[in-house]
Amino acid sequence: MNLSAPLGFIVGLLVVAFSVTQGIKNPAVFIDAHAATIVIGGTIAAAMICIPFNRLLTLIGVYFRTILGRNKQETLRVINEVVELSKAQNSGQSLESMIPNVKNAFLKESLDLFVQGGLNEDELEEVLEKRVEQQNEKYKREGATYKIIGKFPPAFGLIGATLGMIALLQGLGSPDAFERLGPAMSVALVATFYGLVVANIFIIPIGESLTSASEEDLITRHVVVDGVRLLREQKHPLLVEEYLKSYLSPSERNRMTKAA
């Protein structure tokens, strides 16, 4: 599980809560259903207008997948899997019998294509590279979509603040207008505060995280493509391991060596 995202949310909310409770005389002013409805409802409405509904549902799943997703050690695990497959192949076992035990989905899919036959070496590699490219584009689209949605909450926060200011100006002619001026302005700005918090803690960071995940996934999938090629050529397990470890940083290679 990737603990970074949940911890980031918790820290962000704690920072906001500390700022609200310590810097404001009356923190209850931030509890405003009207402002929350404008920001959250408006964001959902705008997202539904610019994104097809089925894709929007997919993005909700992507959101929770990103928060609760696996950590950044998938490349190491795939390298270990390919090396173990190479060792088993070198000892006389067939790849076909080992495929059901493969954990990485793309590696299993790639090995299935290989053992089924029907594709020569160049065709197999071309198909796998195409799938790598398409998956990477999918990650990039998801990240870009969240960055687009991240623009909506501040905009609707500004709409809420504008409505609050209009209501405030309408009451300026009343006898107690001066006493109500400060509290009314603070309420008007709550919607802007909501919009900034929603965008910069809950939405935009997910888009950035997906962009980073696309880069990591791209490396992992290239490891799979090279791993399948090396298995097809029945290279020695030591060569397989050292070749695939070239995708890792020196510290990751050292950590992998110590764990072996």
What is the residue-level pLDDT of the chain in tens, covering all 260 positions? 567 777 888 898 899 888 888 877 778 888 888 889 999 999 999 999 988 888 887 877 777 766 665 555 788 889 999 999 999 999 888 888 889 889 999 999 999 998 887 788 889 899 999 999 998 888 888 888 888 999 999 999 999 888 888 877 777 767 766 666 666 677 778 999 999 999 999 888 888 887 777 888 889 999 999 999 999 999 999 999 999 999 888 877 776 665 45
Return the structure tokens found at 38.
């404008």
Q: Where along the chain do its domains lie?
A: 4-259
pLDDT attached to residue 239: 93
pLDDT attached to residue 251: 78
pLDDT attached to residue 257: 61
Of 104, 76, 97, which Cα lies nearest the Cα of 241? 76
pLDDT attached to residue 183: 66
pLDDT attached to residue 151: 93
Of 89, 77, 76, which Cα lies nearest the Cα of 236? 89
Dihedral sign computed on CA atoms, order 76, 79, 85, 87: negative
Judged on CB neighbours under 10 Å (0-12, 13-18, 19+), 136 is middle
Of 87, 121, 80, which Cα lies nearest the Cα of 104? 80
Write the DSSP symbol of residue 41. Answer: I
